[in-house]
Structure 1
Amino acid sequence: MTTIYRCITEDDTSQFCHRVSEALSKGWSLHGAPSMAFDPQKGVMRMAQAVTKEIEAEYHPEMKLGQQ
């Protein structure tokens, strides 16, 4: 088994929640608490949530983590 990691980022909108919910529905697990920071260039709050998943395959850099 291999643990893979990804960090989902998005403006603080419902789209962020949908992206995290989709990852959870595909077997990813939350890794730590979400983070929030103000993006002064865009003038919006940005969200981030790390997620992990156990997979059977070995990790390789060409993996499309969002499709796992």
Structure 2
Amino acid sequence: MTNPASWKKSSFSGGGEGNDCVELAHLDTRIAVRDSKAPARATLTFPADEFAPFLDALKGPDFAGL
């Protein structure tokens, strides 16, 4: 799907080796998201213009404390 250099690790990575996070890749018109602990497994993709609202929703009260 994308080469390893195109994936960017979250700045909120966990301690130790920093593997407890997600990685993002900017594709032509989409944003891809994958689990950094299992990069060969499933990848979610979002239309680029819908990714910011998705992140805003995750920051909202429905996901507080998760």
For normalisation by structure 2, the TM-score amounts to 0.23
More helix by share: 2
More strand by share: 1
- Which protein is bigger by CA-based radius of gyration? 1
